Structure 1
Amino acid sequence: MNILIVGPSWVGDMVMAQTLFQCLQQRHPGCAIDVLAPDWSRPILERMPEVRAALSFPLGHGVLDLAARRKIGKSLAGQYDQAILLPNSLKSALVPFFAGIAKRTGWKGEMRYGLLNDIRSLDKDRYPLMIERFMALAFEPGAALAQPYPRPLLQIDPASREAALARFGLSLQHPVLALCPGAEFGEAKRWPAEHYAKVAELKIRQGWQVWLFGSKSDQPGGEDIRSRLIPGLREECVNLAGQTSMAEAIDLLSSASAVVSNDSGLMHVAAALNRPLVAVYGSTSPQFTPPLADQVEIVRLGLECSPCFERTCRFGHYNCLRDLKPRPVIDALERLLGSPVEVR
């Protein structure tokens, strides 16, 4: 059985989509799963053994370009038995329709009647988790999801990891604390730089090194964290934000002894690498998209106004993050690592 997946547009969602791929392989052993997605997702998909191929989708988020979608669809005609769509947009349903794929499965979304012929009505109470909404599409409507649920697990090539370490002149002589202070979603997901800097300072004083990860837009935030460290400590903090490819970021994160991250795509990557992880939540909720791994501590204040799921704070104070001081995160690291962290 050949299955085409129309992939999501966010890093974290793509990582969580591996649970769907695992369910499909369980239900249809040996099936071929190809994922149509933006090029940035290729390094993630290449580290998922359930996926046969990552197919490049050249159109940016929100771009219609009907002619291009028709051309892509026609190029895929006759190759697949089923298409499963993870986005809920009308645009995402066009390529499978133009490809003439016999079974086109997805949740009811933007007027997709006719484009989909296996259209599902989502019961949000039955499937509160994002992964449940993904996994349910592997089965017939109404089918129970067997527990325990599968978890994303990215596979790393040691040679690729060594190449990334060499390129950036990094060493594993000292344990690595990876910090992921960015979040493409918006400011309401970003724990303040001064709090990250305090955690970095404490670990460096313990003999650790700190690596900062993120996209190019996160590079200034990384420098803000470094600038808050005194000389002598600052040299043990490396800002990799905007410097690595996605593939390199994944491989380097797999080398971390522990990770502290906002609710972001890199948080889900760290969880899928099974790194000890402290996840900091502000405007969003771990009840919807929690990191899926064994060694996870979730830290949040749970204010009355959160989760609001807003990109920016409607009150302007961001108290769900600003009032979340370093101590709870440090305590969470201590529990994960099994050793005390001295506060100075």
Structure 2
Amino acid sequence: MNILLVQTSFLGDIVLSTPVIKGLKTLYPDSRLSLLTTPQGAELLKNDPLLDDLIIYDKRGCDSGLAGMFNLIKNIAKKKFNVAYSLHRSYRTALLLRLSGIPRRVGFKEARGRLLYTETYRRTEFTHEVLRNLAIFRGERELDAFDDELRLFAPDDSLVKNELKSMVASVSPYGLVFPGSIWKTKRWSEIEYHRLVMALEKESLSVIIAGSKAEVDLCDRVAQDTGAVNLAGQTSMAELLWLCSRASFMVCNDSLALHLASAFKIPTVALFCSTVPEFGFGPWKNDRAVVLQSEGLACRPCGRHGRVKCPLGTEECMKAVRAEEVLHHLKALIKCWNIKSSECMDNV
């Protein structure tokens, strides 16, 4: 059996799709499994031992436009896949798979190009995105038969730059702080992030601030006049996974970082601003995670994916939670982690 799995969404969505990889190998243990994903997605999952091949779809780069799409179709057609499972719900993806000549194409009823699939299954009644993704198997087995743990694999130490290893060794144990998000209204106040980093230092807790190249200025402001190590824009995806696998705690927004924390079971305080966990993107299978959010605001949530700016101009949901509250919950989480007791979570 030659299987193609398709997931070309945001990185956080890709992390929440990883149980499907194990699910396909559960159904078809002797199959060859390929993943069609973005360049960043390929970097994220390149160490997964269950994946035999990664096919990169750079839809915003070299594969953009009709010419890029048809080149990809030719490439996929040459591989002679027996079946494709598509977690991505765009019409473009459905058309791509149909034109690639894959005889069995499994997708979701909510997909825009659902008529181009040979089988479709409903996903919307599930409360978390992990379960919605696993709903792709509804026609083959009960969902509780599948392992729903997230799966990410940090690189071996030998593949990490010596400079990074030396720096981490000098500040360990450390916590990770991710102030960024693609959407501005999903970012907790940078002033409060700065206050939190200063408070963590007073508690003798080392902090590494992380983020993408687009978030360097934001992270610089958070790190200003503190002793925190700012690695924003300086790490590869593999190095970021390596950092997460060794972190003692994390503070982040509703973003990729939260899902990395779930995968590595990091004690985490997650700040939800304009979005809410009920959308299905909250912590998953991490009993050391706490969500903080501003309660009672009639204007939230103001959008499923966040916004470029606050519609009311108040940014109240981004400022209501204070650094002191985050620190309180974080210290309780770290204490629980250190004594390896789930009982104390009642007090967090």
Q: What's the TM-score once normalised by structure 1's chain length?
A: 0.87
- Residue of structure 1 equivalent to 2:299: 305
Partners of 2:95 and 2:113 within 8 A in 1: no
How is 1:1-344 mapped onto 2 (pairs within 5 angstroms)? 1-60=1-60, 65-77=65-77, 78-109=79-110, 111-122=112-123, 124=124, 126-140=125-139, 144-146=142-144, 150-160=148-158, 162-163=160-161, 166=164, 169-184=167-182, 186-227=183-224, 229=225, 234=226, 236-287=227-278, 288-292=280-284, 293-302=286-295, 303-309=297-303, 310-311=306-307, 312-338=309-335
Cα distance change on mapping 1:95 and 1:200 into 2, 3 Å: same
Helix, strand or coil: the match of 2:105?
A: strand
Post-superposition offset of 1:242: 1.2
Helix, strand or coil: the match of 1:321?
A: helix
Helix, strand or coil: the match of 2:175?
A: strand
Q: CA RMSD in A?
A: 2.5
Q: Which has the higher helix share?
A: 2
| Partner AA of 2:108 in structure 1 | W
Post-superposition offset of 1:338: 1.0
Cα offsets for 1:203-257 (capped at 9, x unmatched): 2122222111111111111111122x3xxxx2x2121111112221121222211
Partners of 1:164 and 1:248 within 8 A in 2: no
CA–CA distance in 2 between the matches of 1:221 and 1:285?
23
CA–CA distance in 1 between the matches of 2:277 and 2:8?
19
Of stretches 241-250 and 64-73 in structure 1, the one that deviates more from structure 2 is: 64-73
Cα distance change on mapping 1:308 and 1:32 into 2, 3 Å: farther
Cα distance change on mapping 1:109 and 1:329 into 2, 3 Å: same
Cα distance change on mapping 1:335 and 1:164 into 2, 3 Å: farther
Post-superposition offset of 1:99: 1.8
Helix, strand or coil: the match of 1:201?
A: helix
Cα distance change on mapping 1:164 and 1:290 into 2, 3 Å: farther
Post-superposition offset of 1:65: 2.2
Number of residue pairs the alignment of both structures matches: 329
| Partner AA of 1:181 in structure 2 | P
Partners of 2:155 and 2:241 within 8 A in 1: no
| Partner AA of 2:161 in structure 1 | A
Post-superposition offset of 1:48: 2.8
How many percent of aligned residue pairs carry the same amino acid? Answer: 26
Partners of 1:70 and 1:94 within 8 A in 2: no
- Residue of structure 2 equivalent to 1:342: none
Unpaired segments ≥5 residues, structure 2: 337-348
CA–CA distance in 2 between the matches of 1:3 and 1:286?
33
| Partner AA of 1:305 in structure 2 | C
Cα distance change on mapping 1:164 and 1:182 into 2, 3 Å: farther
Cα distance change on mapping 1:111 and 1:194 into 2, 3 Å: closer
Q: What's the TM-score once normalised by structure 2's chain length?
A: 0.86
Post-superposition offset of 1:329: 1.1
